[in-house]
Amino acid sequence: MVGGIDKVIYLPAKLTEQLGYFKDSGVDVSLKDEPSGADAETMMLAGQVDAVVGFYDHAVTLQTKGKCVESVVQFAKVPGEAEVVRNGAGISSTADFKGKKLGVTSPGSSTDYLTQYLAKKAGVPTDKYTTVAAGAGSDFIAALQHKGIDAGMTTDPTIAVMEKQHLGTILADMRTEEGTQKALGGNYPAASLYMDCAYAEKNPKTVQKVVNAFVKTLAWITSHSAADVAAKMPKEYNGGDAALYEKAIDGSKGIFTSDGVMPSDGPQTVFNVLSTSNPDVIAHKDDIDLSKTFTTKFVEAAK
């Protein structure tokens, strides 16, 4: 299950299929789309899918609920998200969030956690602004156009569309390491392939084949241009504007790891953010074992 299959941050999922790497690795993978990462997580826990392409931070939050979930290949070292502000909203810094309507993918999603962190860091508690489920893509754009939100967190290609239509500006850009470190205090590993620890333990050969395919794709992305990447993706992903889609990929291409390995400082930064913004993590922060939220054994074997 991919938490938004047409989002550039999750591009490795479809690209791996397009490149034929799943087939080359000898594994049959069916990609399904669920725009909200929180809902994708729920479907995995219910046994409806075997794994999720989504944010690593879910592995941390689920541990507080007694679930063992681990990232087996890390796609991205930074979120690839940006907090954008609607023109005329009267927001020039995160301190201006008070009394505003802030868009997230859905409540309990990674964008919700990150928004809470940015607000609290600026001295604005969650009860001082309104959280709006603005989704992504055309839904998010419509929310900006019709003043359904004053600001919101989203990814490319939605960011590129917003800029082209002059609907707003970027307040915090977490598509780069520099911007992420400024906003969150360090690298924040995000897009990943995560699954139930028990599934990985019971099916190591299958997991290895999937990881092998993804590691090949990450190396391919690193060695190819945004134009090359865009050319491999389904045409319907560009929304009828091939040039804009290529620009969107170029704007976010740097978020990806080259080898699928978890950044050494990443889990701690994620924990630091969540222990400020997520109630469950705040309540159980002394019990969380970050070493159980990811494994590098599959990517090391793939290399």
Provide the residue ranges of all domains of the chain, joining segments of one domain with +: 8-78+188-302, 81-174
Asked if residue 140 has pLDDT above 70, the reply is yes
Bridge partners, residue 55, by sequence: 191
Percent helix, strand and coil across the chain, each to the nearest 5: 50, 15, 35
* Confidence grade of residue 228 (pLDDT, cut at 50, 70, 90): very high
Q: Would 8-78+188-302 and 81-174 be classified into the same CATH topology? A: yes
Q: pLDDT tens for residues 256-297?
A: 999 999 999 999 999 999 998 889 999 999 999 999 999 999
- Residue 230: what residue type? A
pLDDT, residue 37, reads 65
Structure tokens at 21: 């790497």
Cα 8 to Cα 57, 118, 247: the distances in Å are 18, 23, 11
Asked if residue 95 has pLDDT above 90, the reply is yes
* Mean pLDDT (the chain, rounded): 95
Q: pLDDT tens for residues 181-212?
A: 999 999 999 999 999 999 999 999 999 999 99
- Residue 213 and residue 32 in contact, taking contact as beta carbons nearer than 8 Å: no
- Residue 193: what residue type? L
Contacts of 243 (CB under 8 A, 6+ apart): none
CATH T-level topology, domain 8-78+188-302: D-Maltodextrin-Binding Protein; domain 2 (3.40.190)
* Confidence grade of residue 40 (pLDDT, cut at 50, 70, 90): confident
Percent of the chain with pLDDT over 70: 99
Cβ atoms within 10 Å of 115's Cβ, excluding its own: 27
Class assignment of domain 81-174?
alpha beta
